[in-house]
C-alpha cells in the first residue's frame, strides 16, 4: 500500500498566530486529528490532510484565529475529468476499496423545486391574513377509504388516522447512526410540536419510550430492535423497503458504532457489524408485502397505520399502486437527494430520481386508478425550506419528512463523513466525549424553532394563495407554474408554464 498520497489535501487550515491564545480548544474539539499541539516547542499546527472542513474548530475558537480554505484543483481545469473524479480514482488506487460517503446526492442535477413558482391571490380571490384568520396546518395520515355500506362502516380492520400539527415530520435516522443525544433531540421536538419522528432501523432506546406516541417505528430488513412492545408503543409502523440515498442495496453500521447501549437497543452483540440485507427475505412480491402489512396490523390490533417506505425509482408510480392495493395506509417516497449516514458514493450519486417527479407521478397514478384516498403520501429527500414543502404538497404529497435540514439545525456542517463515527459536532458519533457536546434540551429547542418558523411561512404562503387549509392545497397543481422546463418535464410534473392562465 502506498505511504504517500499522490493527491494534495483538499482543504488548508490557516491559523492567525497574532490572534491565537493557545487555549487548545481546537485540538480537543477536532474529531479527525487535524489540529495538533507540540508541547516541546509550544506550537500549534494543522495536518491539512485530515481536515474534512466540518468547521468545528473555526466555530469553537474564542479568538477567531482559524480559517479553512478550499485548495485549488490539483490539475489544470478539465470539464470532463473533474477534481472529484481525480480524487476518487487516486483514493481507490491507494486502497482498492469502495468509495463511501454520507448525506445526500450533491451532484449538479436539476432541483425542480427551484423551477416551480407558487400562485398568489389578487383581486377576485382575496388573500387570507394568517395572523388574524384561522389557518389549518393539521394533517391526518392514514387511509381515508370511505365505507360504502353499514356493514363496512363497522369493519374493525381499518386503522385510525394519525393527526400531526404541521405537515413536517423528522425522517428516519437510527440510534447508532446518530448519537443518543441527537436522537433524543428529535424525539423531544416531535412531541413538543405535535408531529412525528422516525426511529430508523435501529429500534427505540428504552429510556425514550416516553416519546413513543410520537414515533414512527421502522421495520427494516435486518429487523433490528423489532419486538411486540416496540411495535405497540409507536404511533405508526413503517416497513422500510428502500432509501433514497442508496436504492436497491442494504445498510451497514460498523461494529465501532455498536456500543453496549446501541447493541441492547438493536438486540445484537456489542461490537459486531449491523448488516441489513438489500431485500427483506420474506418479501419477494406484492403479495408477500401484503402479508407483512397485515401481520403487523394484527400484531397491533389494527391500532397502528402501516407505512411502506420506498426509494424514488423509474417505475415508482406502478410500485406505489401495488403498495396501496396491498393494504398500506401510508406510502413514504424518498428521492435521490435523501441523506444517509453511509452509502457507496457511486450509488448515492447515480441511482434514483428526483422526489418532485416521483411524487407527481405517484399522485397522478393513484388518482387515475381511483385509489388516492386509500393512502397518504409522504415525500422525502432534500427538503431545504418551507417553500419546498408547500410545492411538494401542491404536487400531491400529504406531508414531508426532513432529516438533513434537522441535522443542520443541530449543528451539522455537511462534511459528509458521518460513516467514520468521528463527528465533531456530537451528531453522527457514539463517542461519549463527542456526543455530549450536543445538549438534547438545546437541540430540541432548535428543532422546535425550525418547525415553528417553517410552519409560519407555510401559513403565509397559503394565505397568499387564498387557502386556509393545507389539505386544500394537496395535489392542487394549478397553484404551480414551471420556469425553464421543457414540455416533457411540465407534463410529468402536471404543471403549466409560467405565463399560462388557469
> Region 414-420: what's the mean pLDDT?
95
Nine cell digits for residue 309: 417506505
**Confidence label for 150 from pLDDT (cuts 50, 70 and 90):** low
Q: Does the pLDDT of residue 106 top 50, yes or no? A: yes
**39: Cα separation from own chain's centroid:** 43
**Confidence label for 158 from pLDDT (cuts 50, 70 and 90):** confident
Q: Does the pLDDT of residue 305 top 50, yes or no? A: yes
Question: What pLDDT is stored for residue 310 in this prediction?
Answer: 98
Q: Does the pLDDT of residue 155 top 60, yes or no? A: no
- Judge contact between 206 and 230, C-beta under 8 A: no
Residue 464 vs residues 329, 422, 478: alpha-carbon distances, Å: 32, 45, 14
Axis crossing angle, helix 440-465 with helix 386-395, rounded to the nearest 10: 50
**Confidence label for 2 from pLDDT (cuts 50, 70 and 90):** very low
**282: Cα separation from own chain's centroid:** 26
Q: Is 51 annotated as a binding residue?
A: yes
C-alpha closest to that of 66 among 46, 40, 39: 46
**311: Cα separation from own chain's centroid:** 12
Percent of the chain with pLDDT over 70: 97
Predicted TM-score (pTM) of this structure: 0.95
Q: Does the pLDDT of residue 153 top 60, yes or no? A: no
Percent of the chain with pLDDT over 90: 90
Average model confidence (pLDDT) across the chain: 94
Q: Does the pLDDT of residue 148 top 60, yes or no? A: no
**Confidence label for 151 from pLDDT (cuts 50, 70 and 90):** low
Q: Is 54 annotated as a binding residue?
A: yes
Contacts of 238 (CB under 8 A, 6+ apart): 172, 198, 216, 217, 218, 219, 306, 307, 308, 309, 330, 332
Torsion angle, alpha carbons of 83, 84, 88, 91, to 10: 60
The per-residue pLDDT for range 238-286, each reduced to its tens digit, is: 999 999 999 999 988 888 899 999 999 999 999 998 999 989 999 999 9
The per-residue pLDDT for range 113-143, each reduced to its tens digit, is: 999 999 999 888 889 998 889 999 999 999 9
Question: What pLDDT is stored for residue 152 in this prediction?
Answer: 53
Q: Is 423 annotated as a binding residue?
A: no
* Rounded Cα gap, residues 80 and 28, in angstroms: 40
Residue whose cell numbers read 406505489: 320
Question: What pLDDT is stored for residue 370 in this prediction?
Answer: 96
- Judge contact between 264 and 194, C-beta under 8 A: no
List, in order of start, the domains of the chain with CATH numbers: 11-73 (3.30.70.20), 113-123+130-140+163-497 (3.20.20.70)
* Rounded Cα gap, residues 239 and 291, in angstroms: 12
**Confidence label for 75 from pLDDT (cuts 50, 70 and 90):** confident
If you ran DSSP here, which 8-state letter would residue 136 be given?
B
Q: Does the pLDDT of residue 378 top 50, yes or no? A: yes
- Judge contact between 255 and 272, C-beta under 8 A: yes
The region of weakest confidence among 104-118, 126-140, 319-333, 426-440 is: 126-140
Q: Does the pLDDT of residue 426 top 70, yes or no? A: yes
Scored b (16 or more CB within 10 A) or e, 132-145 reads eeebebebebbbee
Amino acid at each position: 500500500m502506498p505511504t504517500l498520497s499522490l493527491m494534495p489535501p483538499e482543504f488548508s487550515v490557516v491559523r492567525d498566530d497574532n490572534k491565537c491564545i493557545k487555549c487548545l480548544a481546537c485540538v480537543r474539539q477536532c474529531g479527525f486529528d487535524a489540529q495538533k499541539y507540540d508541547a516541546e516547542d509550544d506550537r500549534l499546527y494543522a495536518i491539512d490532510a485530515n481536515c474534512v472542513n466540518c468547521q468545528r474548530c473555526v466555530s469553537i475558537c474564542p479568538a477567531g484565529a482559524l480559517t479553512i480554505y478550499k485548495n485549488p484543483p490539483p490539475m489544470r481545469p478539465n470539464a470532463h475529468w473533474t477534481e472529484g473524479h481525480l480524487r476518487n480514482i487516486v483514493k481507490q488506487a491507494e486502497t482498492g476499496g469502495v468509495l463511501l460517503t454520507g448525506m445526500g446526492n450533491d451532484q449538479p442535477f436539476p432541483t425542480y423545486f427551484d423551477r416551480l413558482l407558487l400562485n398568489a391571490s389578487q383581486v377576485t380571490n382575496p388573500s387570507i391574513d394568517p395572523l388574524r384568520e384561522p389557518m389549518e396546518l393539521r394533517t391526518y395520515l392514514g387511509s381515508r377509504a370511505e365505507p360504502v355500506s353499514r356493514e363496512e362502516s363497522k369493519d374493525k380492520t381499518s386503522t385510525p388516522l394519525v393527526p400531526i400539527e404541521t405537515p413536517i415530520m423528522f425522517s428516519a435516522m437510527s440510534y447508532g447512526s446518530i448519537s443518543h443525544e441527537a436522537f433524543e433531540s428529535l424525539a423531544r421536538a416531535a412531541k413538543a410540536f405535535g408531529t412525528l419522528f422516525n426511529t430508523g432501523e435501529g429500534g427505540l432506546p428504552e429510556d425514550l419510550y416516553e416519546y413513543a406516541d410520537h414515533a414512527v417505528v421502522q421495520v427494516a430488513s435486518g429487523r433490528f430492535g423489532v419486538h411486540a412492545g416496540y411495535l405497540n408503543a409507536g404511533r405508526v409502523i413503517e416497513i422500510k423497503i428502500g432509501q433514497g440515498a442508496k436504492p436497491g442495496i442494504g445498510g451497514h453500521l460498523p461494529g465501532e458504532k455498536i456500543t453496549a447501549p446501541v447493541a441492547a437497543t438493536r438486540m445484537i452483540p456489542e461490537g459486531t457489524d449491523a448488516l441489513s440485507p438489500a431485500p427483506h427475505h420474506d418479501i419477494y412480491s406484492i403479495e408477500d408485502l401484503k402479508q407483512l402489512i397485515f401481520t403487523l396490523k394484527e400484531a397491533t390490533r389494527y391500532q397502528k397505520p402501516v407505512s411502506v417506505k420506498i426509494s424514488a425509482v423509474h417505475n415508482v408510480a406502478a410500485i406505489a399502486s401495488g403498495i396501496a392495493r396491498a393494504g398500506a395506509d401510508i406510502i413514504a417516497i424518498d428521492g435521490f437527494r435523501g441523506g444517509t449516514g453511509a452509502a457507496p458514493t457511486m450509488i448515492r450519486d447515480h441511482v434514483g430520481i428526483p422526489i418532485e417527479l416521483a411524487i407527481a407521478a405517484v399522485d397522478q397514478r393513484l388518482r387515475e386508478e381511483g385509489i388516492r384516498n386509500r393512502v397518504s403520501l409522504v415525500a422525502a429527500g432534500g427538503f431545504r425550506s418551507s417553500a419546498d414543502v408547500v410545492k411538494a404538497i401542491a404536487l400531491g404529497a400529504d406531508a414531508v419528512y426532513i432529516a438533513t435540514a434537522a441535522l443542520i439545525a443541530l449543528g451539522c456542517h455537511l462534511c459528509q463523513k458521518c460513516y467514520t463515527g468521528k463527528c465533531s459536532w456530537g451528531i453522527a458519533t457514539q463517542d461519549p466525549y463527542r456526543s455530549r457536546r450536543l445538549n438534547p434540551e438545546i437541540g430540541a429547542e432548535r428543532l422546535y424553532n425550525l418547525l415553528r418558523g417553517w410552519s409560519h411561512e407555510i401559513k403565509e404562503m397559503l394565505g397568499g394563495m387564498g387557502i386556509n387549509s393545507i389539505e386544500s392545497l394537496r395535489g392542487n397543481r394549478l397553484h404551480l407554474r414551471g420556469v425553464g422546463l421543457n414540455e416533457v418535464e411540465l407534463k410529468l410534473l402536471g404543471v403549466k408554464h409560467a405565463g399560462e392562465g388557469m
